[in-house]
Structure 1
């Protein structure tokens, strides 16, 4: 006797949701606030991460995932034509459920930031959480596709870093160069990625690569400036004469990112541009780890760098962009 047809497994539903939230990118959402928390908190010794660090990570994860789902909700009509394989246009995930989940994740992310504010009796985490949520919604609903899009996306990344920093405590001026630089770097990635599905425009690609370079320069100078102006709070790992080695490491990493961008500018076909963008996004984790290395040492840097495993494995399930 023939068996009745089997229903789709729960695995396929889980995979659809992982694609919807772009699961590999969530690793970068962890790396940013974690790095900010470690650097401002002055974690020189490897120890258990306190509650504040976990709240920063959890809030960032919820806000990032909620923003990714909201992005596909807003883009449903476009995706029905250009990306019919995505979970919403292919009806692998219900549109109504996706709306509900995106709102729920964004709200819960803000709640977690507020919990951090209450626990430390400081309103800064709640303010940053609200600002980050507003930036995410502003990008998805209004700025995407306009000249403001890269600015909003860079702002989201800078605020994500800032969330971990303010939960850790009060940060000095040189440390704020890091979220500013990383925000500018992501602004450049966003501009560079605009034509990745078609034939790229060289002036736009060049501008994106230039902005990325400026962001890398600003963030990379933070440890040096910190050493010059903060005698009482110099980067821990660099005090033993490792500054030149660290700057060389940062420079090599920056060049490796920009080489792919140059290759895409020379031959602006989708494959080259997508490779450059994917590498630039993945490098966010490495950049965060190298910054943590300067201020906190090898053990914490390796902990951040380990998120690359998540990114690489997640990329087998879902696209980065």
Structure 2
């Protein structure tokens, strides 16, 4: 059960005007959205519309998260937009609903019925997680499923063989499971079990990413296989495996630091770095497919996202 706010707290003081863009950016964790288009790229999306749909659904989930957590945040994080009075609960819920509808509409336009079906499943998981599953043992699994479905959204209109799409989705889902488990100690502090779960998930994500790179490049080496934009298989393998190593090092180092010093501040920092650390993982998966330009953009987005996260927290 969520904690009740202090009796003297005034969590929902009505704002004098509509929330400004900075407040809305804080509500939806705008910088963290840089980690979202890479899901659809890893899934093999051919249309940028699928990435836009993914961002809309992600932002919807963030707004809905703060709506659902408004009483708990009044005690633990009173500076957030709703308890601080800068956003009304109804405004956050309305924004979440509007962004969800926008995400579904864009998916249908960009990828037709298959993409709409996948986006609908993703939206259902997002709403179920925020409104019912977050505080339960199924919470991390639901969040992992959401990011895995986000990858599959990218391949809904033809993202290559099913095995490759499932390996990519599994890698991102495993990473997300570990981050979500670790995030449960952001306020109270971490634990040995949470750190072990996060580190194991990072190792599994790395292994699945390597399996994905091996699978797509081995298939490309077969007779009659089409070339990926003239990119040699050796370059694709080197980029895929190299970026996977970068991912494991960045995320694993942050999670190890939290394991050694499991206070709330260190745990929160590890969660933030792990959220952004999905970018090199997505880049590795995309590079394996031969999309080196997209992979380079995802890798370059990591330092940008870190700078932006100093202004707007991704957690």
Asked if TM exceeds 0.5, the reply is: yes
Residues 236 and 287 in structure 2, CA contact (< 8 A), matched pair in contact too: no
Q: Deviations over 1:138-167 (max 9, x none)?
A: 110111011101101111111111111213
Equivalence for 2:290: 296
Equivalence for 1:204: 194
Equivalence for 1:3: none
Taking the aligned partners of 1:245 and 1:24, their CA distance within structure 2 comes to: 25
Structure 1: stretches of 5+ with no match in the other structure: 1-6, 42-52
Taking the aligned partners of 1:63 and 1:266, their CA distance within structure 2 comes to: 35
RMSD value, Cα: 2.5
Q: CA deviation at 1:234?
A: 7.8
> In the alignment, does 2:106 pair up with 1:131?
no
Q: CA deviation at 1:280?
A: 1.3
Alignment match of 2:40 (pick from 33, 46, 52): 33
Q: Deviations over 1:219-260 (max 9, x none)?
A: 221111233456255884452366356424422431332122
Residues 217 and 237 in structure 2, CA contact (< 8 A), matched pair in contact too: no
Q: Deviations over 1:61-97 (max 9, x none)?
A: 1111111101111111111111111101111012222
Equivalence for 1:220: 210
Taking the aligned partners of 2:256 and 2:34, their CA distance within structure 1 comes to: 26
SS at match of 1:69: helix
Taking the aligned partners of 1:150 and 1:233, their CA distance within structure 2 comes to: 38
Taking the aligned partners of 2:292 and 2:136, their CA distance within structure 1 comes to: 41
Equivalence for 2:73: 79
Q: TM-score, normalised by structure 1?
A: 0.84
Residues 174 and 222 in structure 1, CA contact (< 8 A), matched pair in contact too: yes
Taking the aligned partners of 2:240 and 2:125, their CA distance within structure 1 comes to: 33
Equivalence for 1:190: 180
Taking the aligned partners of 2:232 and 2:136, their CA distance within structure 1 comes to: 42
Residues 250 and 290 in structure 1, CA contact (< 8 A), matched pair in contact too: yes
Query: What does 1:211-290 correspond to in 2, within 5 Å?
Result: 211-229=201-219, 231=222, 232-233=224-225, 236=228, 237=231, 239-240=233-234, 243=237, 246-290=240-284
Alignment match of 1:16 (pick from 20, 23, 33): 23
Taking the aligned partners of 1:245 and 1:17, their CA distance within structure 2 comes to: 36
Q: TM-score, normalised by structure 2?
A: 0.85
Alignment match of 1:151 (pick from 141, 160, 168): 141
Taking the aligned partners of 2:170 and 2:39, their CA distance within structure 1 comes to: 12
Equivalence for 1:49: none
Q: CA deviation at 1:170?
A: 4.7
SS at match of 2:107: helix
Equivalence for 2:156: 166
Residues 37 and 165 in structure 1, CA contact (< 8 A), matched pair in contact too: yes
Greater relative contact order (Cα < 8 A, sep 6+): 1
- Tell me: CA distance 1:262–1:234, structure 2 relative to 1, closer, same or farther (3 Å): farther
Q: Which has the higher helix share?
A: 1
Taking the aligned partners of 1:113 and 1:67, their CA distance within structure 2 comes to: 16
Structure 2: stretches of 5+ with no match in the other structure: 1-14
- What is the count of residue pairs matched by the alignment? 297
Equivalence for 2:130: 140
Residues 63 and 133 in structure 1, CA contact (< 8 A), matched pair in contact too: yes
